[in-house]
């Protein structure tokens, strides 16, 4: 967070049409500043200007309206500016960057609403776990319902932490039949992958249930490191939450 006192003001001058990896340069720079935690930045579009190549860019002549000058400006501490400059230097290409000493009289403040959401601190949990992947076909059935749906329901019922179902566009498996998402066929049998992360013991226990449900497919385990972010429910609300869970 920016504090009152001495700071640096950085201005970057580029052209509106300049590109950076297939994206407009000024928005790429703005994204970079945003994700690197800069407290604020502005983009201003000029109405006329010229640069090192002495091409006049102006709004007054229709033909020259393209590539108007863009200025991206932000104020940050000297240390932060130092940290970001090498990347900005590389991104700016032919553009100009200038850094000035400045004095912050009053930093901008977060609006009260966003400050409140920030109060719910995400808890970070780390540890070893297993990743289970189940590869089946979209048309596989279990008791007349799609197998992937049945598996998700079975996992919920068995308290497995979470599962995601992915649909492939092409593939083949054990029976050598190509599963394909053909535009002209109405019958699809696309490959399906379910991906589950949980403790090894839980997944091993669930594997026994899988034996009964999966008639054809592949199940593989691999080791993963879990980094999980959860929101701690304040203790007062916890009781109420539990009550709700019970009602469900």
Partner 1 sequence: MKLEGKATMLRIHFGEDDKWHGKPLYQAIVEKCRELDIAGATVFRGIEGYGASTLIRKPHHLLSFSHDAPVMVSVIDSDEKVRKLIPQLDAMVADGLIAISEVEVVKYVHQDGARS
Measured from the CB atom, is 108 or 216 closer to partner 1? Answer: 216
**Shortest distance (Å) from residue 126 CB to partner 1:** 20
State the maximum Cα–Cα separation within the chain, in Å, rounded to a whole number: 75
**Shortest distance (Å) from residue 140 CB to partner 1:** 8
**Shortest distance (Å) from residue 45 CB to partner 1:** 21
Helix (H, G, I), strand (E, B) or coil at 37: coil
Beta bridge partners of 24: 19
DSSP annotation of 121 = P
Between CA 82 and CA 224 the distance in angstroms is 36
Question: Locate tokens 């104020």: which residue?
Answer: 75
Which residues are at the interface with partner 1 (CB under 8 A)?
21-23, 132-133, 135, 137, 139, 166-179, 191, 193, 207, 210-211, 214-222
Between CA 7 and CA 102 the distance in angstroms is 5
Measured from the CB atom, is 150 or 193 closer to partner 1? Answer: 193
Measured from the CB atom, is 156 or 177 closer to partner 1? Answer: 177
**Shortest distance (Å) from residue 212 CB to partner 1:** 11
**Shortest distance (Å) from residue 217 CB to partner 1:** 6
**Shortest distance (Å) from residue 74 CB to partner 1:** 23
Q: What is the rounded radius of gyration, in angstroms, for the C-alpha atoms of the chain?
A: 28
Measured from the CB atom, is 62 or 212 closer to partner 1? Answer: 212
Between CA 136 and CA 29 the distance in angstroms is 43
Between CA 128 and CA 109 the distance in angstroms is 40
Measured from the CB atom, is 71 or 133 closer to partner 1? Answer: 133
Between CA 134 and CA 132 the distance in angstroms is 7
Measured from the CB atom, is 42 or 167 closer to partner 1? Answer: 167
- Residue among 218, 167, 215 nearest 189 (CA): 167
């Amino acid at each position: 967070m920016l504090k009152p006192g001495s700071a640096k003001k950085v201005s970057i001058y580029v052209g509106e049409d300049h590109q950076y990896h297939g994206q407009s340069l000024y928005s790429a720079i703005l994204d970079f500043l945003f994700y690197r935690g800069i407290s604020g930045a502005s983009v201003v579009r000029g109405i006329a200007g010229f640069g090192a190549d002495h091409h006049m860019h102006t709004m007054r002549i229709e033909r020259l309206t393209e590539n108007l000058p863009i200025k991206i400006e932000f104020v940050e501490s000297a240390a932060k500016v130092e940290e970001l400059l090498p990347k900005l230097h590389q991104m700016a290409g032919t553009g100009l960057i200038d850094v000035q000493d400045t004095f912050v009289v009053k930093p901008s403040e977060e609006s009260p609403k966003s400050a409140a959401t920030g109060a719910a601190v995400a808890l970070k949990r780390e540890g070893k776990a297993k990743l289970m992947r189940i590869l089946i076909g979209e048309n596989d059935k279990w008791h007349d319902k799609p197998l992937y749906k049945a598996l998700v329901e079975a996992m919920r019922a068995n308290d497995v932490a979470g599962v995601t179902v992915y649909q492939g566009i092409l593939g083949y498996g054990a029976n050598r039949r190509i599963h394909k998402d053909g535009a002209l066929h109405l019958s699809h049998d696309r490959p399906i992958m379910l991906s589950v992360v949980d403790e090894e013991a839980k997944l091993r226990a669930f594997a026994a249930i899988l034996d009964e449900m999966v008639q054809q497919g592949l199940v593989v385990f691999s080791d993963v490191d879990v980094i999980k972010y959860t929101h701690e429910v304040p203790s007062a609300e916890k009781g109420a939450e539990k009550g709700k869970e019970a009602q469900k």
